[in-house]
Amino acid sequence: MGFRQDEKAPEGKNSPFDVFTVLGHDLKSPLNAVEAYLEIIRGKVLGDSVDAYLAILGNSIARLHQMRELITDVVDWARIQNPDSPRSLAALDVGKTARGVIERHREAARAAGVSLSEEIEDGLTMQAVPREIELVIGHLVDNAIKYNRAGGAVRLVAGREGSGIALNVSDTGIGLEPGEQALLFREFTRIKNVRTQDVRGTGLGLAIVKRLVGAYMGRIHVESEPDRGTTFCLFLPGDENPAQETRKDPQQGPL
């Protein structure tokens, strides 16, 4: 089963030229930074002590991680845009997947001074591609950590809702203005203001989430208040209503 999309691009969708322009800029920026750091090291600008360059090496590694994240997101984004991408559904324990996502994000949360907690029912199963559900939950948890504050918290709650699965990811972070909420889920779109100027990201995470949720005939919406936090509310069909052929254009679904 592959992804399908309308011939006409949905409103707000980037053209191929726009995508490659943004991609080129976002890859060039960390490359330029790493090149500058390496020139400092090669020129021994800070002296002969290795310790003097540890901060620069740390910044270089962070920039390379940024590039890796961008490349990974672009590959995922390109795959779900391809109507011929193969998809093999199988029974998936969503609770186990969500717990795995939480565990993989514990170190990032610790480094950001953010606590992680979960409340997940057992027996939450659906027909899905495991990697896709991992991407959806992973991007939501990653965002909740990135746009939080030191001493903040992220909580993932998952349980049954009718024949489906309800999953909420809440944070106590910087929140969103109403106008900013309208910009979410667009490709290569990042909310830019004083509170987010130091947050790095690809601008593709939530676009990938929306596309994949639509592929499962699911729903997602956001509830947010500036300086109070944000909650992404996700609904996916359970085993009683397995995912069938993708809607004609998941981006235009009931999200």
We report the CATH number of the domain holding residue 50 as 1.10.287.130
Q: What is the largest CA-CA distance in the chain?
A: 66
Closest CA to 219 of 240, 208, 206, 233: 233
Closest CA to 111 of 74, 58, 75, 69: 58
Please determine, for residue 89, whether its predicted confidence score (pLDDT) is greater than 60: yes
Under a CB-based contact definition with an 8 Å cutoff, are residues 239 and 91 in contact?
yes
> For residue 73, what pLDDT band results from cuts at 50, 70 and 90?
confident
Over residues 34-60, the pLDDT tens digits come to 899 999 999 999 999 999 999 999 888
Q: What pLDDT score does 250 carry?
A: 40
Whether residues 53 and 97 fall in one domain: no
Instruction: Give the residue-averaged pLDDT of 83-93.
Output: 82
**CB neighbour list of residue 204: distance below 8 Å, 6 or more residues apart:** 70, 73, 74, 76, 77, 187, 188
Please determine, for residue 254, whether its predicted confidence score (pLDDT) is greater than 70: no
Which has more confidence, 2 or 161?
161
Residue 1 maps to a domain: no
Closest CA to 157 of 126, 108, 216, 117: 117
Give the SS3 label for residue 59.
Answer: helix
Please determine, for residue 33, whether its predicted confidence score (pLDDT) is greater than 80: yes
> For residue 82, what pLDDT band results from cuts at 50, 70 and 90?
confident
Helices 54-81/16-42 angle, 10° precision: 160
Q: For the chain, how are helix, strand and coil distributed in percent, rounded to 5?
A: 45, 20, 40
Amino acid residing at 199: V
Distance (Å) of CA 254 to CA 178, 183, 247: 19, 16, 11
Q: What pLDDT score does 11 carry?
A: 41
Distance (Å) of CA 167 to CA 13, 56, 147, 219, 232: 27, 40, 19, 11, 8
Q: Among 56, 81, 106, identify where a domain stops.
A: 81
Task: Count CA atoms within 13 Å of residue 80 on its CB side.
Answer: 29
Residue-range definition of the domain harbouring residue 103 = 90-252
Give the integer Cα–Cα distance in Å for 104 and 62. Answer: 18
Please determine, for residue 133, whether its predicted confidence score (pLDDT) is greater than 90: yes
Q: Which two tokens stand for residue 104?
A: 């993989």
Residue 6 maps to a domain: no
pLDDT, the chain, mean: 80
Whether residues 138 and 234 fall in one domain: yes
Best-predicted range by mean pLDDT (26-35, 100-109, 194-203): 100-109
Whether residues 181 and 68 fall in one domain: no
Give the integer Cα–Cα distance in Å for 221 and 5. Answer: 21
Whether residues 77 and 121 fall in one domain: no
Q: Among 81, 103, 118, identify where a domain stops.
A: 81
Q: What pLDDT score does 160 carry?
A: 94
Report the domain count for the chain: 2
Q: What pLDDT score does 77 carry?
A: 75
